[in-house]
Structure 1
Amino acid sequence: MDLGLKGRLAVITGGSVGIGLAVAEGLAAEGARILIAARGGERAGAEAARIASTFGVEAAGVAADVATAEGCAAVIAAAGDRGGADILINNAGTGSNETIMQAPDEKWQSYWDLHVMAAVRLARGLVPQMRGKGGGVVLNNASICAVQPLSYEPIYNVTKAALMMFSKNLATEVIGDGIRVNCINPGLVLTPDWVKTAKQLTAGSGGDWQGHLQGVAEEHADIRRFASPEEVAHFFVFLCSDKASYSVGSTYFVDGGMLKTA
């Protein structure tokens, strides 16, 4: 099936690992050109080189902390140097662990900058590039926690909920320019962060991190397992494609039955 992605430039933040890297690979497999943005420029460059070699597409990495205005500007400039973005995947993010009563202003602000302002700034810079090319796609990677929060990470929950609402507002604003905006709320995805956390939590009790993760899956997801990053990436790739031409301003859950509401 031709998804109509050949030659399009896809910008993926947090694209050197986990879901972002899987999305980059999935888009490259469809012939898209890839621009990976990550704080670790060396890793971004290495993964881009691997993708270029594996899929025979143009791919590059850019060192950028998108939680900062300067980092976003670097990504926007890199896309402009390559003819302008057709696709933006706002994927950069990380979990949190705090209570509302104890978390300082600085922690709230840092997550707001990473999960919300990065998407705002990149939209302001890349939407005009898309407009000049006749259209494009913006996908925001939020979380099931945007609507079904986990108690130990209120800052993550709140900022991801804001990202979901930003998606709806941006979609309304730019659909007249042929730019489709949607939000994806994944559930449990087996990223390196989950593995690292599980190993830390089980280090003093035998080290059965796989068993710990299986317990998490059985508690939360009807499917009783984590998704692979590639499983979630398939959905991202579809929403980027011409086959999703009527998908506008929506939030899609890819969660293995974790969401407990209709």
Structure 2
Amino acid sequence: MDLGLKGKVAVITGGSVGIGLAIAEGLAAEGAEVVLAARHGERAENEARRISDRFGTRAIGVAADVATVEGTAALVGAVAEEFGGADILVNNAGTGSNETVMEAPDEKWQQYWDLHVMAAVRLARGFAPQMKARGGGVILHNASICAVQPLWYEPIYNVTKSALMMFSKCLATELVTDNIRVNCVNPGLVLTPDWQKTAKQLTADTGGDWEGYLQGVADEHAPIKRFASPAEVAHFFVFLCSDKATYSIGSEYGVDGGMRKGL
């Protein structure tokens, strides 16, 4: 199936690892030119070269901390200079948290607010005019099942991801007349390097069976009884970027293996 993505310019934040990297690979496989934005510029550049060599499409890495005003401005400017603008923006950068509401300091709340919410706000302000000038575009937000079904140990993550989902809906209404489609994806358990790192840390003193630990998490939370691969989630993002999803606007989609229990 031709998804109509050949030659499109796609920007993926947090694009050098995990879900973001899988999305970049999926878009490149469809012929899109991809920009991998990450705090670690060298890793982003290395992955971009690998993607370009594998799929034969243009790919670049950009060092940018999108949790900052300077980082988002640098990314928008780099894309304008290298490609003349973007057609697709995937706001994927983010990370889990671990705290209680009673003990977490203001600074931690602000840190996650900047990363999960303000990065999306600032990048929308930067890239939407580029998309409008190019005839339209797509903005996708990678939130989390925790935006709608919170886990008890990460209230800051839950709250900021829920705010990102609401921002996505507001942005969709504002940009629809510019032919820019905005949607939100809420993945469940995805086997990213972060999950593997956490599991190894938690099992280091009890035999190191990190795979068994993750299987236990999957057994507890997901009816499918396993984690998704990053590629499985990426496939859905690629579809939403395509011209096969032109009536998908302002929605949120769960990709969670049955983990969400509510309606």
Same fold (TM over 0.5): yes
Residue identity opposite 2:112 in structure 1:
Y
CA distance, structure 2, for counterparts of residue 78 and residue 142 of structure 1: 25
Q: In the TM superposition, what whole-angstrom CA distance separates every residue of 1:187-241 from its partner, at most 9, and x where no partner exists?
A: 0000000000000000000000000000000000010000000000000000000
CA distance in 2, matches of 1:148, 1:54: 38
Deviation, 1:78, is 1.2
Q: CA deviation at 1:83?
A: 1.4
Counterpart-to-counterpart distance in 2, 1:180 and 1:117: 19
Partner of 2:246: 245
| Aligned position for 1:23 | 23
- Correspondence for 1:49: 49
SS of corresponding position for 1:243: coil
Secondary structure in structure 2 of the residue aligned to 1:185: strand
SS at match of 1:3: coil
- 2:75, 2:91 → 1: CA distance? 12
Q: 4+ runs of 1 displaced by more than 2 Å?
A: none
* 1:106 corresponds to 2:107: yes
SS at 1:156's partner residue? helix
Q: For the residues of structure 1 that align with 2:79 and 2:4, how far apart are their CA atoms?
A: 20
Cα shift at 1:79: 1.2
Residue 28 of structure 1: how far off its partner (Å)? 0.0
Matched, 1:115 2:116: yes
Q: In structure 2, what is the equivalent of residue 3 of structure 1?
A: 3
Q: Map residues 10-89 of structure 1 onto 2, 5 A cutoff.
A: 10-81=10-81, 82-89=83-90
Give the alignment's TM-score, normalised by structure 2: 0.99
- The alignment partner of 2:109 has SS state of helix
Q: Does 1:149 align with 2:150?
A: yes
Q: Does 1:124 align with 2:138?
A: no
| Structure 1 counterpart of 2:97 | 96
What residue identity is the alignment partner of 1:72?
T
Distance 1:8 1:129 in 2: 13
SS of residue matched to 1:242? coil
How far apart, CA to CA, are the structure 2 residues paired with 1:73 and 1:31? 26
SS in 2 for 1:244: coil
Letter in 2 for 1:185: N
Tell me which residue corresponds to 1:207: 208
Matched with 2:184 is 183
1:49-103: CA deviation from partner (whole Å, max 9, x where unpaired): 0000000000001000000000000110011111100000000000000000000
* Count of aligned pairs: 262
Q: How far 1:146 sits from its partner (Å)? A: 0.3
Identity %: 77
The runs of 5 or more residues in structure 1 that have no matched partner are: none
CA root-mean-square deviation? 0.3
Letter in 2 for 1:12: I
Equivalent position amino acid for 1:49 in 2: R
